[in-house]
Amino acid sequence: HQFEVIGYPVSSEFYHIEDQELLKDLRKKWGVKEKEIPIFIVMGKHSTAASREIFDHLLHSNTDLPLKYLFICGKNNELKNELEKSLDEQDFSIAEKFSIQGCLSSKEMNEVMNISNMGISKAGASSVIEIMATQAFVLLMHSYPWEI
């Protein structure tokens, strides 16, 4: 028997974007101002309670840094609606630091990862490989029990 070692399969949609003009255009597309520091938060296609907990901490954090939080809720529309409702109750100066997104295509996730200075993600195999492909910096959170 012969074995071949291959890498983890990852979509070709995930890659590192080096074109600075394209990155500038993508920042505009995703509502990130020139001086803002974008951070993506994604906890998988179905998102998790950890997303809400992270959101609450960031919402009540006191920082003068020009941060822009890009929350990707995936298919969890209930969470997306909850987060949007929470932002509606905030001052504009706080709410404008957040962008709440639903389920993104691989191409869109690649864009978000490439424009962000860093991200927060669950440590699932696919998530980690996709992030590595974009060369993004990331803080990894607990995975689902079946991914450990």
In degrees and rounded to multiples of 5, residue 13 shows phi and psi of -70, -20
pTM of the full structure: 0.87
**Which of 4-13, 24-33, 112-121 bottoms out in mean pLDDT, i.e. has the lowest?**
4-13
Measured CA to CA in angstroms, residue 11 lies from 19, 30, 143 at distances of 20, 22, 21
Split at pLDDT 50, 70, 90, the class of 45 is: low
* Each residue's pLDDT tens digit, 49-80: 778 889 999 999 988 899 999 999 989 899 99
pLDDT given at position 148: 46
**What does the block give as tokens for 126?**
């696919």
- 17 burial level (CB within 10 Å; 0-12, 13-18, 19+): middle
The C-alpha atoms of residue 34 and residue 8 are separated, in whole angstroms, by: 35
Q: Report which of residues 60 and 48 the model is more confident about.
A: 60
Alpha-carbon torsion 138, 142, 147, 148, what sign?
positive
Region 8-34: what's the mean pLDDT?
A: 95
Measured CA to CA in angstroms, residue 16 lies from 78, 104, 131, 143 at distances of 32, 18, 9, 24
Measured CA to CA in angstroms, residue 69 lies from 7, 95, 103, 144, 147 at distances of 31, 10, 16, 23, 26
